[in-house]
Amino acid sequence: MLAIDLTGKRALVAGVADDAGYGFAIAKALAEAGASVCVGTWPPALNIFETLLRRGKLDESRKLQAGRTLEFEKIYPLDASWDTLADVPEEIRTNKRYNERGDFSIQGLADAIQRDFGAQSLDIVVHSLANGPEVKKPLLETSRAGYLAAIGVSAYSLTSMIARLVPVLREGASAISLTYLASERAVPGYGGGMSSAKAALESDTRLLAYEAGRKHGIRVNTISAGPLASRAASAIGLIERMVKHYAEHSPLAEELKAGEVANVAAFLCSPLATGITGATVYVDKGFHAMGMTEAVSVPTPG
């Protein structure tokens, strides 16, 4: 039997704050395959996430096969807007949601992993990070600050993470991110520079695959996932309509499940995919392949 086996591997999933998004689903799939999982969580959401875990509100979502449970080896504070703590403005560093969390920068995350587990202790990096403060604005109405914020958090943070995590990454490590078809097609309503950020993320994936592959033996890929009605995606403002549109016009006329994306992520991070790097892998029920679409009647589950 050919199986995905990540036994003995350690993964970092950056961008988990609840059980509704792709990040959590990927963490669960990696754990199902045998990996130990650490997560990075945005500091303002960290208290709520820890409370949900402590009170058992996520227990059902954390169930794995064979009676096992998804356990997070470590939960790190991470604000991917900042490379180092010195870059963080004083008003953020002293904010009550941040000031008790220590070094929440990308460099702080890398340092914490090295303190906790030592050098060359990480095999998998999952970048499930995106933020566009002006995502509801059309591009023509997007400010320079909003545009650059979207690029910084949603794209450049992958480059920064890989560069700063190199000391803790093992030979043969794998990094993956999540992108969206708006990188190459116009999606009205997906604004604020987010489409540009996704295009940058895909371009960076190809160059990072070359540079990190040649220099450190690291594979870098990205998954172009269809829309998911997660809590984070609700910020877009039209996510339910996007999900319905995909289900009506895709070759496989059904809604995409988070677990389907997570399974591909686990494969890409596994020894089964050692020949794949620099790729954008579409997991969207085939929507990306369509040039002309036809609405269909989507069966109602049950």
Which one, of 153, 147, 146, 133, lies nearest residue 235 by Cα?
A: 133
Give the Cβ contact number of residue 48 at 10 Å.
Answer: 13
Token digits for 148? 């650059």
Known catalytic membership, residue 180? yes
Token digits for 196? 């540009």
CA 165 – CA 175 distance, rounded (Å): 11
CA 201 – CA 180 distance, rounded (Å): 10
SS3 43: helix
Token digits for 257? 């499940």
| Catalytic entry in 22, 98, 147, 190 | 190
Report H helices in 33-95: 43-54, 90-93
CA 124 – CA 174 distance, rounded (Å): 5
CA 294 – CA 288 distance, rounded (Å): 14
- Residue ranges with strand state E in the chain: 10-14, 36-41, 72-77, 122-127, 169-179, 219-225, 280-283
User: Residue 177: beta bridge partners?
Assistant: 127, 222
Known catalytic membership, residue 210? no
| Catalytic entry in 180, 210, 246, 282 | 180
Q: What is the CA radius of gyration of the chain?
A: 19
The structure tokens 């870098």 sit at: 220
For residues 177 and 153, is the Cβ–Cβ distance under 8 A?
no
Active-site amino acid positions: 180, 190
